[in-house]
Amino acid sequence: MRLFVGLGNPEAQYAANRHNIGFMAVDRIAGDHGFAPWRAKFQGQITEGRLGREKVLLLKPETFMNRSGQSVGEAMRFYKLTPDDITVFHDELDLAPGKCRVKTGGGHAGHNGLRSIHGHIGDAYHRVRLGIGHPGHKDRVAAYVLSDFAKADQQWLDDLLRGLSDGAAALAEGDTARFLNAVALRTAPPRSSTSTPKPAPQKAPPAPAADPATDDTRSPLQRLADKFR
* Three state DSSP letters for the chain: CEEEEECCCCCHHHCCEHHHHHHHHHHHHHHHCCCCCCEEECCEEEEEEEECCEEEEEEEECCCHHHHHHHHHHHHHHCCCCHHHEEEEEEECCCCCCCEEEEECCCCCCCHHHHHHHHHHCCCCEEEEEECCCCCCHHHHHHHHCCECCHHHHHHHHHHHHHHHHCHHHHHCCCHHHHHHHHHHHHCCCCCCCCCCCCCCCCCCCCCCCCHHHHCCCCHHHHHHHHCC
Q: Which of 19, 90, 111, 126 is catalytic?
A: 19
Annotated active-site residue 19? The verdict is: yes
Q: List the catalytic residues.
A: 19
